[in-house]
Structure 1
């Protein structure tokens, strides 16, 4: 009976360690996702700016059509 309790205790501790590890990894992944989303937003804004600027420059060329 005692050996079964010890075995259960060991398994429970392993499960708790795994849970803590997964929580830490999840938090790290959430932070990485937030950074990636911010970077993506910045790149999208740069693309919009570049497109607007290109359209403006093309409109100044005589005979150019969009």
Structure 2
């Protein structure tokens, strides 16, 4: 019976350690997600800015100077 209790105690200890490890990993992953979302938003803003600048530049050309598929 002592062996069974020791086995159970060892298993519970291992489970508690795993639970703590997973909590720590979860926190780190959440922080990574926040950072990646912020970076993604920044990159999307840059793409939108570049798109607006290209559209402005294209708007400065006379229509007959542009290839047909750009209009």
Unaligned runs of 5+ in 2: none
Stretches (4+) displaced over 2 A: none
Structure 2 counterpart of 1:37: 37
> What residue number does 2:57 align with?
57
Question: TM-score scaled by structure 1?
Answer: 0.94
TM-score (norm: length of structure 2): 0.87
CA RMSD, Structure 1 to Structure 2 (Å): 1.0
Q: How many residue pairs end up in the alignment?
A: 66
Q: Which runs of 5+ in 1 are unaligned?
A: none
The CA distance in 1 between the partners of 2:12 and 2:45, in whole Å, is 49
